Amino acid sequence: MSTIESLRRCYHCGAVLQTEDPSKGGYIDVSVVREHTEKEVLLCDACYQKQRYNRYPAGAKASKDFLTMLKDARASDAMMVNVVDLTSFECSFDPAVSELINGLKMIVIGNKRDLMPSYRDEDLKQYIVYVFQEYGIEIKPEDVFLTSLLSSSDITPIAEEIQRRRQGHDVYIIGAAGAGKSLFLQAFLNTYRNPSNHAVGVSQYYGTNLNVLKIPLDSSSYIFDTPRSELSNSFARYREDVALQKVLFTDQPFSNKKGSLSKGGSLFISTLARIDYLLGQGGFSFSSHFPEKVQLKTVSMKKDMDALFMKYHEKKALKPHASFIHSIMDYDVFDINVTEIGRREISIAGLGWLSFKNEGETKIRIYVPKGIGVYSGKAKGHR
Ligand SMILES: Nc1nc2c(ncn2[C@@H]2O[C@H](COP(=O)(O)OP(=O)(O)OP(=O)(O)O)[C@@H](O)[C@H]2O)c(=O)[nH]1
Ligand SMILES: [Mg+2]
């Protein structure tokens, strides 16, 4: 009589587990099979890696109500004033939003210019165009305006441009949490005289639960300030952590520090994030851009880097303290494989960025609190 053997399969992808050929599906290291009983659930090595590493970083996600509002805006051929935080907008794109706003009349306000004085205006405008294009939104450098709305609120040229471009249509101010929408609106109101009998006020947007500020532009059109996104994938989501927000929402230029890591070494960005240098040509030299009061620490290869990182966290040895982190499992971990040659950048939503020159293949592992966005792309040019 022949025997029937039940084959073990990967719990995640369903591939039949095998220990012979790492290049084929379902491969699992033989030691893992030996260490686990027949009854335990097993993952093939590829799926195991994906469980902890290489998952996509959290994307920005607009609420259903917000999308309903944008559909309405699109149907009425409205104009978009898209406010972005220049220091951190790369992770703020929701594909559903991009699709709805692409092709509409649009200007982009690149705000918080004051935080990055070493960059040239033209380079920043080009960079915004490049990132928007990466997300499928076509804009030109002349659609981009740079502002420092915290310190200077004269936006007369921008207000005039909006009036000129909107062609009688409504205007929607959109942008990620903390980008500067409300400051923009305040600055706009400084230049504003109500030309209608309608009052300026907050009301519920038709068909949604959103409370929007409505400012009449003439007897039949309005400018809408849309509310903060509750679904932020940036550090702006930790609103209740006042001490942290004080450090991150700064009026001092980001500090630009040079540093380097040897293979296996790590950069602790306080304990808000961590970057490990896994693989590359020689050492990893970088230029870091974070708010001045975020303390950095470089560490050379350690047997148990996670334990050391958590020790720094528990002892509050680096500032600002990440009060919402309780263990290493509160971080998402991603591997970034950079193969494009030239100046590249890795940015962490709402925190800052690292730029570096890539000369071959560089492999970096990044730890961020769960739900925080991470972006890897071409670097912004700077002097
Ligand atoms: N340094 C600097 N900080 C700014 C600038 N604009 C905004 N900020 C900071 O960012 C914070 C948020 O600005 P808001 O105008 O409230 O942003 P918002 O887009 O309305 O944010 P939500 O309503 O939460 O979506 C401000 O309180 C400032 O601390 C700027 O030009 N420079
Ligand atoms: Mg606001």
Q: Which ligand is nearest to the CA of 175?
A: 1
| 238: in domain | no
Residues 216 and 123 in one domain: yes
Q: What is the pLDDT of residue 59?
A: 79
SS3 sequence, 15-31? Answer: CECECCCCCCCCECCHH
Query: What is the spatial distance between Cα 185 and Cα 22, in angstroms, rounded to a whole number?
Result: 57
Report the CATH number at residue 198. 3.40.50.300
The pLDDT of residue 166: 96
Locate the ligand 1 atom nearest the alpha carbon of residue 225 and give its number.
20
Q: What is the pTM of this model?
A: 0.85
pLDDT at 335: 82
- Encoded amino acid at 145, one letter: F
- 206 & 79 share domain: yes
CA of 275 to the centre of ligand 1 (A): 27
Say how far apart CA 270 and CA 247 lie, in whole Å. Answer: 12
User: Does 253 fall in a domain?
Assistant: yes
Report in angstroms the alpha-carbon separations of 130 from 53, 91, 194. Answer: 28, 14, 37
Largest CA distance in the chain: 93
* Domain stops at, among 180, 197, 225: 225
Which residue has the least CA distance to atom 21 on ligand 1? 178
**Residues with Cβ within 5 Å of ion ligand 2?**
181-182
Instruction: Give, using CA atoms, the residue closest to atom 29 of ligand 1.
Output: 249
Residues 285 and 196 in one domain: no
Nearest CA to ligand 1 atom 32: 112
Q: CA-CA distances (angstroms) from residue 309 to 151, 268, 305? A: 37, 7, 6
- As for how many domains the chain has, the answer is 3
Inside any domain, residue 239: no
Q: Which atom of ligand 1 is nearest to the CA of 185?
A: 15
20 lies in the same domain as 163: no
Beta 222-225 vs 171-174: how paired, if at all?
parallel
What residue numbers bound the domain in which 309 lies? 245-378
Q: Is residue 237 in a domain?
A: no
Query: What tokens does 4 get?
Result: 């029937």
Nearest atom within ligand 1 for CA of residue 184: 15
The minimum-distance atom of ligand 1 relative to the CA of 148 is: 31
Task: For residues 77 and 210, state if they share a domain.
Answer: yes
| Distance (Å) of CA 263 to CA 259, 284, 308, 364, 365 | 13, 8, 17, 10, 12
pLDDT tens for the chain, 383 residues: list them: 454 555 678 777 778 888 899 888 889 888 888 877 776 677 888 877 666 544 466 778 888 999 999 999 999 999 999 999 999 999 999 989 999 999 999 999 999 999 999 999 999 999 999 999 988 999 999 999 999 999 987 899 999 999 999 999 999 999 998 999 989 999 998 888 888 899 889 999 999 989 999 999 999 999 999 876 666 899 999 988 999 999 999 999 999 999 999 999 999 999 999 999 999 989 999 999 999 999 999 999 988 999 999 999 999 999 999 999 998 888 888 888 898 899 999 999 999 999 999 999 999 999 999 889 999 999 998 65
219 and 131 inside one domain: yes
Q: State in Å: Cα 119 to ligand 1 middle.
A: 20
Q: Are 48 and 71 within one domain?
A: no
Whether 46 and 96 share a structural domain: no
What's residue 195's pLDDT?
Answer: 87
Residue 268 counted as domain residue: yes
- Ligand 1 pocket: which residues have CB below 6 Å? 111-112, 114-115, 148-150, 175, 177-183, 228, 249, 251
Mutate to test the pocket of ligand 1, among 150, 229, 234 (most ligand atoms within 8 A of CB): 150
Cα–ligand 1 centroid distance for 182 (angstroms): 7
Counting from 1 in the atom list of ligand 1, the atom nearest the Cα of 147 is 31
Q: What is the rounded CA–CA span in Å between residue 318 and residue 312?
A: 7
